[in-house]
């Protein structure tokens, strides 16, 4: 049973093929960066 969001991500990544795991982790890690850069760009008008 998944109890935390981290457990859910870990379970999801563990179910992927080995070659797809690093790419998926990199994509998930890029989400906060993209959101931060997007919001920073909107504030500077």
Q: Which residue has the higher pLDDT, 17 or 44?
A: 17
Query: 15 near 8, Cβ under 8 Å?
Result: no
**Token code pair at residue 15:** 């179910």
What is the C-alpha to C-alpha distance for residues 23 and 1, in angstroms, rounded to an integer?
25
CA distance 41 to 45: 8
DSSP 8-state code for residue 19:
T
Of 1 and 5, the structure prediction assigns the larger pLDDT to 5
pLDDT at 8 over 80: yes
């Amino acid at each position: 049973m998944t109890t935390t969001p981290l457990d859910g991500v870990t379970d999801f990544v563990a179910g992927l093929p080995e070659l797809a795991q690093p790419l998926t982790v990199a994509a998930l890690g890029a989400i906060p960066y993209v959101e931060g850069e997007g919001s920073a760009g909107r504030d500077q008008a």
